[in-house]
Chain A
Amino acid sequence: MSHLLAQLFPPSVLRPMELGADASILLGGLGIVLLLTRLRRWGWLWREWITTVDHKKIGIMYLIFAMVGLFRGGLDAVMLRTQLAIPNNTFLGPEHYNEIFTTHGTIMVFFMAMPFIFALFNIAVPLMIGARDVAFPKLNAISFWLFAFAFVLFNMSFVVGGSPNAGWTAYAPLTELRFNPGVGENYYLIALQISGIGTIATGVNFLVTILRMRAKGMTLMKMPLFVWSVLITSSLVIFAFPALTVALALTMLDRLFGTSFFTIAHGGMPMMYVNLFWIWGHPEVYILALPAFGIFSEVVATFSRKRLFGYPAMVGSLIAISLLSYGVWVHHFFTMGAGAAVNAFFGVSTMLIAIPTGVKIFNWIFTMWGGRIRMTVAMLWQLAFIPTFVIGGATGVMLAVVPGDYQFHNSYFLVAHFHNVLIGGVVFGLFSGLYYWWPKMFGYLLSERQGKWAFWFFLIGFWVTFFPQYLLGLKGMTRRIYIYPHGLGWSPLNLISTLGAYAMGIGFVILVYSVVYSWRHREPDLTGDPWDGRTLEWSLPSPAPEYNFAVLPEVTERDAWWEMKQEGRSGKVRAEDIGAIRMPRNTPVPFLLGMSFFVAGIGAVFSWWPIAIAGMLFVIALLVSGWFEEHDHHDIPAEEIRRTEAALGRLEG
């Protein structure tokens, strides 16, 4: 019993900071439960959200989790920066610091950026291609619930059992049991594995959706560029994620089942892990960045009131980037003795990525050229992105210069670079998409005024945080150190960097406040097209009805909705065109499946094998029951659709 208690509650989860977090989570959870009970919303929660297979709602749920992830990952970042603000600081001890930078990185990549891009995939893609849902709505819900329960599993680690502490890259042999006892690393391995299954399913789902469910007349070269980016991203997911699956599986086998993949004395080789991890890891960078590029391509055309410049080149460069991304992974470890020939090859292949990326940057600028640029918040993020990403990309090329990398590798120069591209490229893009599609999701606009405040705090905070870090890298400061002494000239820059991080934190708080404020003072957007948009989603009311399109649209041009508006057509439909629509039916299976994986995950984390096996048996039972399911859809009668459309004012005549 005492052994069990020690396993569940090692000292690392009993620190005051952790207990404080526990208490606030408990109180918050209790508050939500009470609120739901008081408002009698449990049934609503179950019917409308937990069992839903509607891509629009799944997208919103992804978004909520992404925001929670951003909060936790951001809080981690603020704590890290606080520790580093002054030399010889004692705010966090080494163990504590190691745990926090590990969860910061892991959450930001897997539990913030990934769900955020999936949120926007779900919200926008079917509407943009004129489809009523994704190809496999139930699988889509399964992907979401696997992710959601993996999210909970990973975030549980600091409450029960202890956090992982080997960095988000989790290099072997540091993750081997003998250097890393305790269950923290198991949480990392198993939570990522569970969400990874869902991610691959999402990749398959959206690839099929885009390839097969586009509106009539929408050829590949007439698709909105965001849809192109999702298509390419999905293919990257399908072919890159298995490498991560294997990398994690080998580490898990070593830790839980006594294999010797990374034990030197038994012939193991840690470099195998590093290779597998980055064979996934570099494509992963583009899995995050390409959708952001897609968002920018939509936003820049809409808010410049102009067609996208160089569409074929944009598509070509997306494809080129995705192909090149498989051939650059060694640049993450030029300093591992691969030899001059290998390093030179991967250095040059990395530089090549600058070419299609440069083409994209120029095309965005020339989209603005000759346009009428409206400074909405969505557009501001795009405008901040261009200079930020150009600088981040340029330092990336500097890192690709192999002998230069010998000096930059794992220094703060590198830290500054990847935050420069991941925040400046991905996060700015996600925020842009958030403001852009928010009215489509909820039917009202976010406050532009507050959005601009959040934007400036975040942008200025970003540069104040990360520009000094480039300089710190040149001063020899390496990443992941929890403490540094006086006298190295690092102190002022670190202090400035920390202040910048606080400013970014304030930007985030303003954003959250703005969401609440905008909701309380919402004015419904009745047009469905508040930005004077160009693509099909703006032809629908906001939010779109369950079936999206009462009558499936036909497309003749790129920027289909813009063309329709030019021709004086509206989004209205004729009553006689409306027929019954077959839609997928709600099902509890995805939620239960996620829960079973969660149970199995807990069992595996603590090596409680009966529980793990029970969880997996539930998984199999649910899968088998799915094979026998007969009625996975329902028909909405034409009359009901006519009523809905009439109520939305969308019937002609």
Chain B
Amino acid sequence: MRRHRSRWFRFLLPLTVVAAGLLTAGCGQHYVVLDPAGPVARSELHLIETASVAMGIVILFVLVLFAVTLYRFREKPGSRAPYLPLWHSSRLLEFVLFAVPVLIVIILAVPTVQQTFALDRLPPAKHPLVIDVTSLDYKWLFQYPQQGVATVNYIDVPVGVPVLFELTANSPMNTFWVPQLGGMEYTMPGRVLPLYLQAGKAGVYRGNSANFSGRGFAHMVFHVHAVPEASFVHWLQTVRQGSPAMTMQDYRHLIAVGTAPEQSFSSYPADTFPTATHGFTLQGGMYMEPN
């Protein structure tokens, strides 16, 4: 008996050490998914928390049942646990074990469906700020169609205003993801997908791509500067007055393969963002040039 325990202990010890190490290593900040800075990310976190709790209960229940079974029925000399070699079914037990997962699925399915629809709708009240996003090899181009300015690899957005991101790609697919503002959406050539996000508090939020697009994929990083509305207006003015206009030449530079630093443009050429499918056929571009 004692021998047995020491054997278990030999394996439990390193496990405990590792777990402790993990916890300390994990104790920093930077859990961006768990630190929402806007309503979309918050509602998503809410659902993640619900799911975590439900799943945590399931895991705990199964693990305890498993551990008890294993401890009680392991083969050892003089075991006093009952031995039932022919016991192989129990209507009641099987029904309960079927009903419990069903119940849990229902508990999770209802808010999932509700939230999925809710996130798809336009937030009420204010008119959204529109930002047209194009993923390029290997940088992000942002265009503000209402304001007429454009940026590369960073954006400024006003706090408290819903932003409609219109996502497309002039390169292989990427995904647009700012974890602290909310979940991601693909950027795809030939399609424009909408994504609503909103910053609830000022700050700089890291965004990146989550879909592999080739050599420079790891460098598809951008930053979202969420600022008070007054600062946003001020920033717009600075860009309009202090930054160069984007020429077609500049645009071609951008769509060529390579990384790029953060840039601002006071204006950009028309038709560089598709308003409909096949939009890029007009302007050519990396993806569209005839083979």
Residues of A participating in the B interface, judged by any CB pair closer than 8 Å: 94-95, 98, 166-167, 171, 173-174, 177-180, 263-265, 267, 269-271, 304-313, 333, 335-337, 339-341, 343-344, 347-348, 351-352, 354-355, 358-359, 361-363, 365-366, 368-375, 383, 386-387, 390-391, 394-395, 397-398, 400-411, 456, 460, 463-464, 467-468, 471, 473-476, 478-484, 488-490, 492-493, 496
Contact = CB atoms under 8 A, between A and B. Distances in A.
Given A373-B73, A475-B30, A405 B51 contact: no
Contacts of B84: 306, 370-371
Contacts of A359: 94, 97-98, 101
Contact of B25 (A305, A333, A369, A496): A496
B52 interface: yes
- Give 7 nearest A-B pairs by CB, closest first: A406-B183, A489-B30, A370-B84, A358-B101, A394-B55, A264-B190, A410-B210
A387 B15 CA distance: 15
B214 A365 contact: no
Interface in B192-211: 193-194, 206, 208-211
A409 B183 contact: yes
Given A335-B184, A397-B51, 4 more contacts: A347-B112, A409-B183, A480-B212, A489-B28
Nearest to A169: B212
B186 A337 contact: yes
B17 to A, nearest CB: 10
B1 interface: no
A411 B33 CA distance: 11
A493 B21 CA distance: 10
B55 A395 contact: yes
Contacts of B215: 94-95, 98
Interface string B213-252: 1111110000000000000000000000000000000000
Interface string B276-291: 0010110000011011
B186 A333 contact: yes
A95 B215 CA distance: 6
Contacts, number: 302
A313 B93 CA distance: 12
Nearest to A473: B33
Contact of A307 (B21, B87, B184, B216): B87
A476 B33 contact: yes
A146 to B, nearest CB: 29
A340 B120 contact: yes
B291 A167 contact: no
B89 A310 contact: yes
Contacts of A373: 70, 73-75
A407 B82 CA distance: 48
Interface string B247-291: 000000000000000000000000000000010110000011011
B185 A390 contact: no
Contacts of A410: 175, 184, 210-211
Contacts of A474: 31-34
Given A310-B94, A355-B105, A409-B210, A390 B51 contact: no
A411 B209 CA distance: 10
Given A310-B94, A333-B186, A390-B63, A167 B212 contact: yes
Contacts of B65: 365
